[in-house]
Amino acid sequence: MSQQNKVNPVDGQPPAYGMQPGYGNQPGPPPGLANVQQQWAPAVQSMPGCPPGLEYLTTLDQVLIKQQIELLEAFTGWEQNNKYKIMNNQGQQVYFAAEDTDMCMRQCCGPQRSFVIHITDNMNQEVIRLSRDFKCCAGCCWCANAEACAHEVMIEAPVGQVVGYARQEYSSWSPNFTLRDAERNPILRIHGPCCVLNMPCCEDTFNVWSNDDTKEVGTICKQRGLQEFFVDANTFGATFPQDLDVKVKAAMLGAVFLIDFMYFEKSSGGAAGY
């Protein structure tokens, strides 16, 4: 089977068309790829010391995370499990991500719900698992120094082996997060904008810094479009050094989903998360 005619191994559907270019210096495929069929990135050989399935990440310095439109949710407001395509800057799909959350949790708890997100490769093998526990008092940045009041995503790669955490941190106003290793030692820090504006004309950028806050090493950026007036389907770009440890890159993926659910995921009533 040719690469262009390959169907998605997760949902069995023909590949979708490539994304439009990113905004400004944010990641996006070249303009010439705007109307070509979605392709999976070529397989990468296994590497010593690299968790199986994360070999793709060794070649990347940016990714695009594109949420798929759920028609039933768009027409009825009935919250569905989210699905995402994770692509490189050439518009090639490198992973597929699918939420697995209890129906009652989705409908009753909205974006504050617990979740498990399964990230699979082009062979439909789960290579990363992201999970967040439900915490009824979590979300307020003023209280995030308390464990029970801070949202946190655990990253496993492969499943059963924790490689890191993305955790909300205390702040007086602007949202702060840390990326931590398996022993919960801080590695990188993420500082968000003073005001997260949930408007189609705006871009919200979360800057990734070294642990001592002396060097900016990447970004997590929400890219907006007019379709968000009608459907809950978000697009994020994340940039990072190509030589960054793949486990930390996986933790950055966890941070993208945590930020999405905390600030940009809409409840069934249409309001943003926090």
More confident residue, 19 or 166: 166
194-198: long-range contacts, CB 8 A cutoff, minimum separation 24: 196/263, 198/263, 198/264, 198/272
**Tens digits of residue pLDDT in 56-80:** 999 999 999 999 876 655 555 666 7
The answer to whether the peptide bond before residue 158 is cis (omega within 30 degrees of 0) is: yes
Q: Residue 172's Cα: distance from chain center in Å?
A: 25
**Tens digits of residue pLDDT in 138-187:** 768 788 888 888 999 999 999 999 999 999 999 888 899 999 999 999 99
Q: Please report, to the nearest 10 degrees, the dihedral formed by the alpha carbons of residues 119, 121, 124, 129 taken in order.
A: -20
**Tens digits of residue pLDDT in 218-231:** 999 987 654 544 44
Angle, CA of 154, 158 and 163, to the nearest 5°: 40
Q: Please report, to the nearest 10 degrees, the dihedral formed by the alpha carbons of residues 258, 252, 115, 29 taken in order.
A: 90
Fold designation for 31-264: Porin (2.40.160)
Angle, CA of 112, 107 and 131, to the nearest 5°: 45
pLDDT of residue 42: 80
- d(CA 154, CA 129) in angstroms, rounded, equals 8
**Tens digits of residue pLDDT in 112-143:** 889 999 999 988 999 999 999 988 777 687 88
Task: Please report, in angstroms and rounded to a whole number, the separation of the first and last CA atoms in the chain.
Answer: 46
